[in-house]
Amino acid sequence: MKPFLTIKDLKDKLNKKEVTQKEVITFYLNRLKKYKEKLNATIDIFDQDNNNNNNNNNLLAGVPGILKNNISIKNKKITCGSNILKNYIAPYDATVTEKLENNGAVILGTGNMDEFAMGTSGEFSAFGPVKNPWDLTRSPGGSSSGPAAAVAAGLVPWALGSETGGSVRQPASFSGLVGLYPTYGTFSRYGVVAFGSSNDQVGPLTKTVYDNALISTILMGQDPKDSTTLNRPTQDFTKNLTGKLPTNLKIGVIKDGIESENIIPEVKEHFKNAIKHLESLGAKIQYIDIPSLKYGISIYFIISRAEAASNLARFDGSLYGSRVNAQDLKDMYINTRDAGFGQEVKRRILMGNYVLSASHRDTFYNKADYIRSLLRQELENTFKSVDLLISPTTTTLPFKIGQESKDPLLMYMADYFTVPTNMTGNPALSLTCGYSKDNLPIGFQFIGPRLSEDLIYQVAYAFEQSTDYHTKNPAGYE
């Protein structure tokens, strides 16, 4: 077997009996172990009992992957990349875990991540930073850093991340992958440790659009255990992947994506080339100004931290994870949280409690919530004139490890184009549109109206199949 096989390739080999499920699992287990120290992409790797003889009719029969370590796998550690949960064992499966396993997937391990999904570089993990397979001195993105690095290096064909403000799409851009943030409520959050509950969704990371659409087909559906899931009919997102754009497709280019001075020139150049390529495929291009977009970072900054402070209040040593003993209850709370949480998590909790405080709630949180509704309405109005929007996924190339973590504000601003859709609940898909002069991946994203994943996949697939970006792999992992 060779690395960098897609799910589609692997299923074909299994169906033709060119390889057995046991051989596939052994191959990928060995790769995860071989590159664990080099990339630090995984927290735990699960040895298998070699009894994984799944029915080949299952969509993912015998196809291995990993889950970000904030997604529950029964009887396995769920650390969230934090010391406070370093030995905590999940008592049940997340709904998405059940769906994957019911469709034959073999989960080989857990992906390293920024602590409690708070970070954009993979450096804020209690278990050390994750390295980008394209350049070991750089970040693979975050907070789904480990899942992205593992797929990019061909250690597994797919991985599941989670996203609150770009944590699937930004690693996809930095790592040369396809990453989806679905319409909010499309995938169940049951069993996924919360960061910002009104934004959080899991999302697949894969080499190709087809593979991504296949995973999303499996994950979607209403869940009685999660009241935020949508009652929408299940869809086969691979059905309309014809390689052609829909007739009279109108694509809106977000003006900031080509005009902003904050975007580095190489990202801007390759994004412009993607626009030209879509036009050559038959898309009608319009340039769209979205005035409220510039507030996306600000309202995300306020609302996500408020929700984080609330969600993380439960981790105090009394119920979950590690505990630091003290003379009284108050000191136990303080000592446990001080020892258990890292710098970035503490920073966000402080900010969250500040904007929720009685004297500041109206000034910050309530205003941010109002602007959020304006941004949502503005996007809805925009989609009356275009079918999809496009923009760069992120403003920069992969960060040098250590560079961005020293400047949190600069790191937050890299999410300028991802967080607005998280705040509005619109679906968005990142895929590669080129490589820098130093051979670093550059991504752009399709953004659609709510419930438009099928259209997004169809258009992204047409772009992907008419280019060769998805065929490139980092060197040194053959």
pLDDT of residue 412: 74
Check pLDDT > 90 for residue 209.
yes
Percent of the chain with pLDDT over 90: 93
pLDDT band at 55 (very low <50, low <70, confident <90, very high): confident
pLDDT of residue 309: 97
pLDDT of residue 449: 98
Check pLDDT > 60 for residue 98.
yes
Between 50 and 83, whose confidence is greater?
83
Name the region of 210 (left: φ>0; alpha: ψ -120 to 50; beta: rest). alpha
* Helices assigned H by DSSP within 341-435: 343-356, 367-382, 408-413, 419-424
pLDDT of residue 411: 74
Q: Rounded distance, CA 73 to CA 220, Å? A: 18
pLDDT of residue 414: 85
pLDDT band at 404 (very low <50, low <70, confident <90, very high): low
Backbone phi and psi for residue 204, each to the nearest 5 degrees, phi listed first = -80, 145
339: CB partners within 8 A, 6+ apart:
83, 84, 322, 324
Predicted confidence (pLDDT) per residue in 408-460, tens digit: 667 777 899 999 999 999 999 999 999 999 999 999 999 999 999 999 999 99
3-class SS of residue 462: helix
- pTM of the complete model: 0.97
Selection from 10, 35, 57, 58 nearest residue 132 by Cα: 35
Tokens 């191959």 -> residue: 27
pLDDT of residue 157: 98
326: CB partners within 8 A, 6+ apart:
332, 334, 335
pLDDT of residue 56: 73
Tokens 């890292």 -> residue: 342
Tokens 């809106």 -> residue: 252
Check pLDDT > 80 for residue 54.
no
162: CB partners within 8 A, 6+ apart:
68, 70, 71, 117, 143, 144, 168, 192, 195, 200, 201, 202, 203
Q: Which range (53-57, 70-74, 229-233, 415-419) has the least confidence?
A: 53-57
Selection from 324, 321, 343 nearest residue 334 by Cα: 324
Q: Rounded distance, CA 109 to CA 112, Å? A: 10
Check pLDDT > 60 for residue 51.
no
Amino acid (1-letter code) at residue 103:
N
Q: Rounded distance, CA 256 to CA 416, Å? A: 10
Predicted confidence (pLDDT) per residue in 253-288, tens digit: 999 999 998 899 999 999 999 999 999 999 999 999
pLDDT band at 53 (very low <50, low <70, confident <90, very high): low
pLDDT of residue 395: 94
Amino acid (1-letter code) at residue 258:
I
pLDDT of residue 86: 96
Q: Rounded distance, CA 166 to CA 151, Å? A: 18
Between 128 and 359, whose confidence is greater?
128
CATH of domain 7-252+383-471: 3.90.1300.10
- Residue 335 token pair: 């000592």
Mean pLDDT over residues 236-248, rounded? 97
Q: Count CB-CB contacts under 10 A for residue 86.
A: 16
Q: Map out the domains of the chain as residue ranges.
A: 7-252+383-471
Between 413 and 360, whose confidence is greater?
360
pLDDT band at 405 (very low <50, low <70, confident <90, very high): low
Strands 284-288 and 106-111: unpaired
Mean pLDDT over residues 360-382, rounded? 96
Q: Rounded distance, CA 268 to CA 257, Å? A: 7
At 309, which helix (H) or strand (E)? helix 296-311
Check pLDDT > 60 for residue 369.
yes
Q: Rounded distance, CA 369 to CA 300, Å? A: 9
Q: Which residues are catalytic?
A: 68, 143, 167
Predicted confidence (pLDDT) per residue in 138-169, tens digit: 999 999 999 999 999 999 999 999 999 999 99
Selection from 203, 198, 225, 104 nearest residue 159 by Cα: 203
